[in-house]
Chain A
Amino acid sequence: MSPLAITACTVTSAIGRGLAATLESLRDARGGLVRCTFETVVLDTWVGEVPGVDATAVPKPLADEYDCRNNRLAWLGLTADGFAEAVERSAARHGRRRVGVFLGTSTSGILETELAYRRRDPESGALPEDFRYRGAHNTFSLAAFARRALRLEGPAVVISSACSSSAKTFASAQRAIAAGVIDAALVGGVDSLCLTTLYGFHSLQLVSRTPCRPFDAAREGISIGEAAAFALIERAPSSLDADAVLLLGCGESSDAYHMSSPPPDGRGARRAMELALEGAELSAAAIDYINFHGTGTASNDAAEARAVAEVLGREIPGSSTKGATGHTLGAAGALEAVICALAVRHGLMPAGINTTQVDPTLPVRYLLKNRSVPLRRVMTNSFGFGGSNCSLILGRAT
């Protein structure tokens, strides 16, 4: 594939709003997980909650149609780091119809529906009059909201493939730009805390009672988080800033194995990584760091470790930043792509925090401490329920 320039990006998660706060947390190896007090949830677990989401006001008249916790988080994200202004400049440059919207979410604004179900009419069972399915609950709500908020007129779609959703937006947008359908794309993802995922992962016994410890010998599951992460990708100009970060490769595959667990040999993950390398026309040796999907469940980390060792070798330095942010589900791919962009730009391999004893049975070189080192190319993995895998490669032009 032709490399694309990431001309702007932003990230908001439990470790900070915006790039500077996120970088500072990463440099300080500071996590954002707290004991879960979300809504009325009674579960012995930790969450990566973004402070201030509930107090965020989506401006009128957008709020009338789209106000929900997920879109409040989206708004927090879009208005950080001058990101909305960067999209506006891109729209002015290319034309509003030439900027596409590709966003990922797994649960969109389903929290609104969960809450509305508590307020059903006792006689008729009807949902309350103020419930709006289209703007709040529907999976597309996120992209419709962002497109309207940024006054874009190009094609728009939500990709919803569970925890690979927002990683896959980079791949779809890259193809659409290559095909000439659009000149630039808003990509990324937003997922927010809700009862469906907290109780759902609990029902699968995949939720950790302690802050999650990816790749630790004593890991016992995930900590759920929330995040908004966005990037603006465009054709790379002929001359690039020294600081420019490019999207170099995307690889996607399906496990065809099981709805909620990967094949133990990690073959689907392996294929996604191989395809990303092929797309980037790079050898495995060209990758300096891997940001693992690394959810912290026993089987996911084991399968991923095996796949990464086979493709990139056992010596590739890597970490999962989910110990810091929690697993932000449909937003995780974009969140970790932006963390990778920060890693490349600032020469930082972030530590996998919370983890203390790396599982000796896993063939990985897992980073327990930050490393400052120039990075040229990094890979990030995202794997979702239904066996949906996506690997991205980001890096410098030279």
Chain B
Amino acid sequence: MSAPGSLAAFVDGIGVLGPGLSDWPAAARVLRGETPWQCAATVLPPPQCLPAAERRRTGMPVRLALAVGLEATSRAGADPAALPAVFASSGGDGVNCHEICQVLASEERQLSPTRFHNSVHNAAAGYWGIATGATAASNALCAYDASFAAGLLEALVQLRAERTPVLLIAYDTGYPEPLRRTRPIPDAFGAALLLSPAPSRTSLAGVSVAMGDGPADRLADGGLESLRRAIPAARVLPLLGQLASEKPGRVAIEHLDATALVVEVSACR
């Protein structure tokens, strides 16, 4: 038996997409304070990697997950088809859920088959497989506001068990009214980390994770801090900030209740 502290990996690639954050290099510049963060609606690219018929059927969470996942793998020069993947989302596709509940509250109850199969929490994992040809295990997790931390934990445990790189994709999209009042997620944010058991020339940093007590780290920038709090997947931002700094350090990421995942970041270069 090993201590939980031995959950460790190297970060080989990062993908980011969110309000005012168009990709990882842009996000890194903002997180380093080189450019100010400007709130702007997240722009989701259509998933060119899917056949046209499938592309039309995808909702925002699928487009977001595919975009950040492919950014992380392409930056690392990794073949996505060869990777197991962990998908973490705090609640799935709010727009699709709204449409389904509206139809079910109507007289006709004529549900669209596409809406129904897109309603599964693992829709992004399914489309990811179709887009990339990845046949390894995928997982689709939810832990409400702690979903990023739960995904990171699952990815590191899987990496340790299989001794293979694992792709972690955390993503959330905005909820429409009337759901938004009960779950006020304003916009889309996604981040992907390609985690590897061994260092390589593409490794950006090492991370090791332990469960800890105490509050999660906040961000100094007020705008980014409000983003971190507003969208569950953006709870990753303190870790991305540490990675952007290219310096060793320790960050606490929000986990369940009052606990945190403590991530020790070590420099690779």
Question: With an 8 A cutoff between CB atoms, is B117 at the interface?
Answer: yes
- Give chain A residues whose Cβ lies under 8 Å from the Cβ of B181: 126-127
Q: Could you tell me how many residues of chain B have their Cβ less than 8 Å away from some Cβ of chain A?
A: 68
Render B116-142 as a binary contact track against A, CB cut-off 8 A, 1 for contact: 111111110111011011111111111
Evaluate whether A138 and B102 lie within 8 angstroms (CB atoms) in the complex, with A133-B182, A268-B135, A388-B126 already known: no
Assess the A159–B140 pair: CB atoms within 8 A.
Answer: yes
Assess the A162–B122 pair: CB atoms within 8 A.
Answer: yes
Evaluate whether A386 and B123 lie within 8 angstroms (CB atoms) in the complex, with A156-B256, A203-B113 already known: yes
Assess the B182–A114 pair: CB atoms within 8 A.
Answer: no
Min CB distance A200 to B, Å, is: 3
Which residue, A179, A201, A252, has most C-beta atoms of chain B within 10 A? A179
- Give chain B residues whose Cβ lies under 8 Å from the Cβ of A156: 143, 150, 256
Q: How far is the CA of A116 from the CA of B105 in the complex (A)?
A: 9
Question: With an 8 A cutoff between CB atoms, is A157 at the interface?
Answer: yes
Assess the B139–A161 pair: CB atoms within 8 A.
Answer: yes
Q: How far is the CA of A23 from the CA of B112 in the complex (A)?
A: 39
Question: With an 8 A cutoff between CB atoms, is B198 at the interface?
Answer: no
Question: With an 8 A cutoff between CB atoms, is B52 at the interface?
Answer: no
- Give chain A residues whose Cβ lies under 8 Å from the Cβ of B147: 140
Q: How far is the CA of A159 from the CA of B4 in the complex (A)?
A: 21
Assess the B126–A180 pair: CB atoms within 8 A.
Answer: no
Render A340-357 as a binary contact track against B, CB cut-off 8 A, 1 for contact: 000000000000000000
Q: How far is the CA of A203 from the CA of B112 in the complex (A)?
A: 6
Assess the A155–B100 pair: CB atoms within 8 A.
Answer: no
Min CB distance B47 to A, Å, is: 14
Min CB distance A151 to B, Å, is: 12
A41 and chain B: residue at smallest CB distance: B109
Assess the A162–B129 pair: CB atoms within 8 A.
Answer: no
Assess the B211–A199 pair: CB atoms within 8 A.
Answer: no
Name the interface residues of A177-211: CB closer than 8 Å to any CB of B: 178-181, 195-196, 199-204
Min CB distance B184 to A, Å, is: 10
Could you count the A-B residue pairs with CB atoms below 8 Å apart for me: how many are there?
212
Min CB distance A314 to B, Å, is: 25
- Give chain B residues whose Cβ lies under 8 Å from the Cβ of A134: 144, 182-183
Min CB distance B208 to A, Å, is: 13
Render A259-301 as a binary contact track against B, CB cut-off 8 A, 1 for contact: 1100000011001000000000000000000000000000000
Query: Which of A3-11, A78-86, A117-125, A317-325 touches B?
Result: A117-125
Question: With an 8 A cutoff between CB atoms, is A77 at the interface?
Answer: no
Min CB distance A340 to B, Å, is: 21
Q: How far is the CA of A290 from the CA of B75 in the complex (A)?
A: 43
Assess the A157–B142 pair: CB atoms within 8 A.
Answer: yes
- Give chain B residues whose Cβ lies under 8 Å from the Cβ of A139: 91-92, 121, 142
Evaluate whether A157 and B141 lie within 8 angstroms (CB atoms) in the complex, with A175-B157, A181-B7, A388-B125 already known: yes
Name the interface residues of A101-119: CB closer than 8 Å to any CB of B: 106, 110, 113-114, 116-118
Which residue, B2, B121, B144, B182, has most C-beta atoms of chain A within 10 A? B121
Evaluate whether A259 and B126 lie within 8 angstroms (CB atoms) in the complex, with A113-B97, A179-B160, A384-B120 already known: yes
Q: How far is the CA of A175 from the CA of B154 in the complex (A)?
A: 9
Assess the B182–A132 pair: CB atoms within 8 A.
Answer: yes
- Give chain A residues whose Cβ lies under 8 Å from the Cβ of B7: 179, 181
Given contacts A157-B153, A176-B153, A257-B130, 11 further A-B contacts (CB under 8 A): A110-B101, A138-B144, A139-B92, A161-B120, A172-B139, A176-B157, A178-B161, A196-B104, A199-B109, A259-B126, A386-B122
Residues of A within 8 A of B (CB): 97, 106, 110, 113-114, 116-118, 120, 124-127, 131-134, 138-140, 143-144, 147, 153, 155-162, 168, 171-172, 175-176, 178-181, 195-196, 199-204, 252-260, 267-268, 271, 384-388
Sort A-B residue pairs by CB-CB distance and give the 6 closest, nearest first: A386-B126, A200-B116, A160-B121, A252-B137, A256-B129, A133-B182
Q: List 8 A-B contacts (CB under 8 A).
A: A127-B181, A144-B144, A156-B150, A158-B143, A160-B142, A175-B161, A176-B153, A387-B129
